[in-house]
Amino acid sequence: MSFDKFKPKYKIHEETENYFKLRAEAGAKPYDQLTVEEAREGNVANAKRFAGTTEFEGTVKEFTVPTKHCSDGIPITVYRSKHCDLCVAPSVFVYFHGGGNVVGCRQTVDTICRIFSRDAPCVVVNVEYRLAPEHRWPANHEDATCVVRWVKMNKSLLGATNESTVGVGGDSAGARLAATVCHDLPEIDYQVLVYPSVDLRRNYKSAEEFAEMPGLTKKMVDWFMDHYIDRSDLDNARASPLLHTNFNTLPPALIIIAELDALRDEGIAYHEKLKEAGVKSQIFTVKGVTHGFFHLPGHFKECCLRAHEKVSKFIKVHS
């Protein structure tokens, strides 16, 4: 799989081309050619190789959020940079990793959680929600709502204050969870949606245009969906938050889009729906990159830097 068919129309960033070249040399296979366990192992290995590390001074603590849905609770990791001491009331930013609702874990987004905690600065909550196929839709929605509700009641325990704002964010499937939480719970202060998967029906020009784009092909999307949700539920607004009818109570949004992404147009459509409802929403398109770059700043140094700066500034404005 190459970028040749896309080059007449788009300029592919060199970080993007190099990334897929390195993956091909390592024999990496798309998820739809793997078992679920192989895909999860590959996802973690990919993050270990390309996410990199970052300087971080502060505390990293583990908590378990109680829930009626599973006896073991929902594990979370809480990052509090030393720079939070300079804030009267540091914001709490709850982050949901991506991975098509099937792969991914807190470990894969550890680096970016540290970056946001340091640079905003803010307290970041990294959530280990349940995955399909063991836990199909709406299990991870239940976990996301449960964690944010608990966070709102326990801000001081996490190193914030009762006056601290609470925002939500995530990438891909995690962005959909964040968007859904904003529809489900009142008084969320802001949302950061990174190439959000907000309409599982996928009836968009970009889904067709990039059906064979490295990073997220149609075959991979179908593999994720088959493991996660029944086709009859795709037009449920809790599964596809773009289908909600009421947007005017939602918090301000930052939506980050990858230019070469099958999910591009639904992210733009969500931005337009927010704007039409009078909600403050800004959109930032990262040129020349595909789906999946955002949590890999060890490789996508230039592309991630611009996107991450946008996120940290947005959190700071809403702290």
* Beta carbons of 46 and 26 less than 8 angstroms apart: no
- Which tokens is 87 given? 């804030």
Q: Alpha-carbon distance 67 to 187, whole Å?
A: 21
User: Phi and psi dihedrals of 166, rounded to 5?
Assistant: -125, 125
- Which tokens is 241 given? 């938050």
For residue 255, list its beta bridge partners.
193, 283
Exposure class string for 20-52: b at 16+ Cβ within 10 A, else e: beebeeeeeebbeebebeebbebbeebbeebbb
Neighbours of 68 (CB within 10 A): 7
Q: Alpha-carbon distance 46 to 131, whole Å?
A: 19
Catalytic machinery residues: 172, 261, 291
The DSSP output letter for 279 is: -
Q: Alpha-carbon distance 101 to 131, whole Å?
A: 6
* Beta carbons of 122 and 169 less than 8 angstroms apart: no
* Beta carbons of 92 and 151 less than 8 angstroms apart: yes
Residue where the block lists tokens 């996508």: 300
Give CA angle at 55 (53, 58), nearest 5°.
120
- HSE (CB half, 13 Å, CA atoms) of 265? 13
Give CA angle at 77 (81, 102), nearest 5°.
130
Distances 296 to 88, 125, 140, 171, 207 between C-alpha atoms, Å: 31, 19, 23, 12, 23
